[in-house]
Structures are given as C-alpha cells and as structure tokens.
Amino acid sequence: MKTPSYSYLLYLPFVALIGGCATHTRYVEPTGPRTIVTTEINIQDFSYAAEDMIKSLLASGVVDKAPQQPAVMAISRIVNNTTQQIDTDLLTKKIRVALNQSGKVLTTTTVGIGNVAEDPLAKGIQQEKEFQTGKGEPQRLPDFSLSGKIIEKRDRLDDVHQVAYVFQLSLTNNEGLAVWEEEKQIAKQAKKGLIGW
Amino acid sequence: MTKKNIVLVLVCFFSCMVFFPSCSTVNTVERETPTGTRQPIADKRIITDVTLNRKVSIVGLNEGATNGGFLQIQIEVLNLRNSMQEFSYNIEWFDKNGMLVSSPSIVWIPKQIEGRETMTITAVAPATTVKDFRIKLIENVR
C-alpha cells in the first residue's frame, strides 16, 4: 500500500510568506471615516474645514445682502503658512462648488490678483464680446472677495506630538469691509512609538 | 492577614488602577426655564450598532431656518458613559421629492465627546430646496 505524500506541506510556509508580502490596496471613500489620519494635512481636513466654512457662510446670510442676486465672488489670496506644500484650491474649490450649488453665489474666473485671470480664455472672450458689441461698460464687478490663511502650529510634550492647523477665511465686500469671517481649528496628536518615530 | 492575602490585595488594587483609569465627566449648568423655544421634531431611528447607542445617543433634534432660507438643524448628542467617546457623524439632505442633494460639505465628521457631556451639532442644508435630512452615526474606525 502506497503511503500518502505530505511533501507539499513543506511549501505552505513559503506560500504564506509570499502572500503576506503582497500589498493590499483598496478604494476608500474620500469623505468617509476610513481615510488615513496622519499629522500632515490630510484630504479630509480640507473637507472638515470647508464644511464648517460653508455652513457658517450660508447661515450668516451675508451673501443675500448683495444688491444683485446671485452675488458675484472673486477668489483672492489664500496664504499657506504651513510647513507643507499644499494647493489651497483643495479648500477654496469645495467652498466655491457649495456656494455655486446653493444658487446664492457665482464665482468669477476672469478677475484675479494682479489682473491675472484664472481662466484667460474666458477673459479674452469677454473682452472680444465687449469689443464686438461696442459695449464700453465694464463687466460686473465682484460683490465679494474671499481671502484667507492656513496656519500650522506644532507642540510637543514628552512623547506626545500635537499639530494644529488653523483655517482662516474672510469675505470682503467691494467697500473693503470684511462682512464675514470664520476660523476652523483642527488639532491632531500622535504618540511616539517605542522604536523610532 | 497573611502575606499571601496582602499580595493578592495589592495585585487586585494595581489591576484596578490599570483597567479602570479615572474618568473625567462634564458638569453642566443651564437656565432652569430656557427662554429660547425649541422646535423639536419626531424622529425614526434604525439602530444597527447597539454598543454605540449605549455610549452615544441622540437625545434631541431641533430645526429652524437661516435668514437666507436654508434648513438648519441642531442635534443634541449625549455621552451615556463616564469616559470620553469618539464617533463620526454624517448628514444627508433631501429635496421635496426625496432626492439626495449632493454637496462637497457632506462628509463624515469625527467628534470627541467627554463623559456625560451633552454636545450640540449644528448643520445647515446646502441648498434652499432641501426639505429633509438623515443623520448617521458611527464609532470611529481610525
């Protein structure tokens, strides 16, 4: 009688080892609760800040006071005062989209800092249209401009590291008055591991 | 008391110190008869995580409208435990036809609530067309 061979069992640890080395990558909902949290500014931090800003801006009712509805808003400078290279559009675009969807505010893409338009083609078309129609009147000026700053503050106590990000935004009317201002703080703590950091 | 019993008592004491750390709870003071009139609304609840519901529970819903005509809601959340709890919430908004209104402001937002604390979460609908809402709570998974 032939005895069963169990030699294949010797390969099992190697198979398990190779399987263990394989990286597991999956999609996650960027606005969901399963995104990675680090001490850097994560994608969800912009969402949290934007959510707070949108809520505050809509609740304030300042955009309803514009003489013509919907109000027109221009995007001014958002200063990045953090140690990281970040694209501030991650914050402003969410606010722009929400305000646009609310039907209360439209954002101009032909007015920018230093007369540089966000969309140069749109500005060219606008100027060409004005020239062809012989309409010498200037375009509708923005009712508001959005400006702000993102600040980073780091602290450490024993083996606990704390990083705070402060998002500050101001909405200024065309008389130069800040009619709405808001600040959102996000703080994160990380504990130093036994080995390394 | 024998030496063995003393050792046993000490072991029990230090075990309690490790497993039951001191909890800090929140003391609250408010006006006995509130002057503000709330607009409480009846709610329907679907509880799938009983553990979370025993820790953090919605105790009140209040609704109103902003000057611009946006639906505004306030959710009163209570921590039923003596220790700090972490949870995330998300609010979905619906128009008069029951259709979901999308917005970049719809995100799962993490919150921390101290022991026995009552927290008020305020939310503003993303559009004036919003008529209804749905609140979701989950224990923090990260």
**Distances in Å between the alpha carbon of A163 and those of A80, A196, B31?**
15, 19, 37
pLDDT at B43: 75
Contact between chains at B88 and A101 (C-beta distance less than 8 A): no
Cα gap A12→A31, rounded to integer Å: 40
Query: Does residue A97 register a pLDDT over 50?
Result: yes
pLDDT at B1: 62
- Fold for domain B43-142? Immunoglobulin-like (2.60.40)
User: Which of these ranges, A2-11, A127-136, B26-35, B101-110, has the smallest mean pLDDT?
Assistant: A2-11
Contact between chains at A59 and B72 (C-beta distance less than 8 A): yes
**Average pLDDT along chain A:** 87
Query: Does residue A138 register a pLDDT over 90?
Result: no
| Superfamily of structural domain A41-191 | ABC-type transport auxiliary lipoprotein component (3.40.50.10610)
pLDDT at A169: 96
Could you tell me where the DSSP H helices lie in chain A?
12-21, 43-60, 89-102, 120-133
Cα gap B121→B139, rounded to integer Å: 16
Determine the residue of chain A that is closest to B107 in CA distance.
Answer: A31
When pLDDT is averaged across residues B55-79 and rounded to a whole number, the result is 91
Residue to mutate among B49, B88, B101, B105, with most A CBs inside 10 A, is B105
Query: Regarding predicted confidence, which is higher, A104 or B36?
Result: A104
pLDDT at A197: 46
B87 to chain A, closest Cα gap in Å: 9
User: Which of these ranges, B14-18, B39-43, B71-75, has the smallest mean pLDDT?
Assistant: B14-18
Please report, to the nearest 10 degrees, the dihedral formed by the alpha carbons of residues B80, B81, B87, B90 taken in order: 0
Q: Structural domain boundaries of chain A? A: 41-191
Query: Does residue A39 register a pLDDT over 80?
Result: yes
Chain A residues closer than 8 Å to B70 by CB = 58-59, 102
Interface of B with A in 99-138 (CB under 8 A): 102-110, 122-124, 126-128, 138
Could you tell me where the DSSP H helices lie in A3-154?
12-21, 43-60, 89-102, 120-133
Q: How many C-beta neighbours within 10 Å does residue B111 have?
A: 15
Which residues of A lie closer than 8 Å to B, measured between beta carbons?
29, 31-37, 44, 47-48, 50-51, 54-55, 58-59, 61, 63-64, 93-95, 97-98, 101-104
Share of chain B above pLDDT 90, in %: 47
When pLDDT is averaged across residues B16-27 and rounded to a whole number, the result is 62
Contact between chains at B104 and A54 (C-beta distance less than 8 A): yes
Chain B residues closer than 8 Å to A34 by CB = 141-142
Paired strand residues for B56: B79
Contact predicate B131/B94, CB 8 Å: yes
Query: Does residue A189 register a pLDDT over 50?
Result: yes
Q: Structural domain boundaries of chain B? A: 43-142
Determine the residue of chain B that is closest to A43 in CA distance.
Answer: B107
Cα gap B33→B30, rounded to integer Å: 9
Contact between chains at A98 and B123 (C-beta distance less than 8 A): no
When pLDDT is averaged across residues B50-75 and rounded to a whole number, the result is 89
Closest Cβ–Cβ partner in B105, B124, B142 for A34: B142
Residue to mutate among A102, A107, A186, with most B CBs inside 10 A, is A102
pLDDT at B27: 77
